[in-house]
Amino acid sequence: MKRTILLLALSNGLFAETFTGVITDTMCGKSHNMMAGQPDDKCIAACVKGSSQYALYDGKTVLKLSDQKTPAKFAARRVKITGTLDEKTHTIKVTSMVLSEPRL
């Protein structure tokens, strides 16, 4: 019974976490050197247009994002994401995403 309740809680996102980092893509990760001379957000957009996916780089790890629409407006920006992490796939099931710092 306890296991069923725990599984239900996990599947409903009751144990959501907050992740902070920079929106990137799964191909370039932390370094956007492939498009020298272009801003990071342009590189990310080009990579996602191809076969790459939006991801969060938290300073150590690149984590894929379940939401592939919202990150477009935050490319190369620092964000706070609320969601649950699937350890097997290294994917955050995104509940919400907000800008972590104001644009300069």
Question: What pLDDT is recorded for position 104?
Answer: 46
Query: Smallest Cα–Cα separation from 81: which of 12, 6, 2, 17?
Result: 17
The burial class, CB within 10 Å (0-12 / 13-18 / 19+), for 37 is: exposed
Quick check: 92 and 66 in contact, CB under 8 A? Answer: yes
Question: What ranges do the domains of the chain cover?
Answer: 16-99
Contacts of 39 (CB under 8 A, 6+ apart): 76
Question: What pLDDT is recorded for position 67?
Answer: 96
Please report, in tens digits, the pLDDT of each residue of the chain (104 residues total). 555 555 555 555 567 899 999 999 999 998 887 777 889 999 999 999 999 999 999 999 999 999 999 999 999 999 999 999 999 999 999 999 999 875 54
Question: What pLDDT is recorded for position 15?
Answer: 79
What global pTM score does this model have? 0.81
Query: Smallest Cα–Cα separation from 22: which of 103, 80, 96, 72?
Result: 80
CATH number for 16-99: choose from 3.30.70, 1.10.357, 1.10.3860, 2.40.50. Answer: 2.40.50
Quick check: 78 and 20 in contact, CB under 8 A? Answer: yes
Question: What pLDDT is recorded for position 35?
Answer: 73
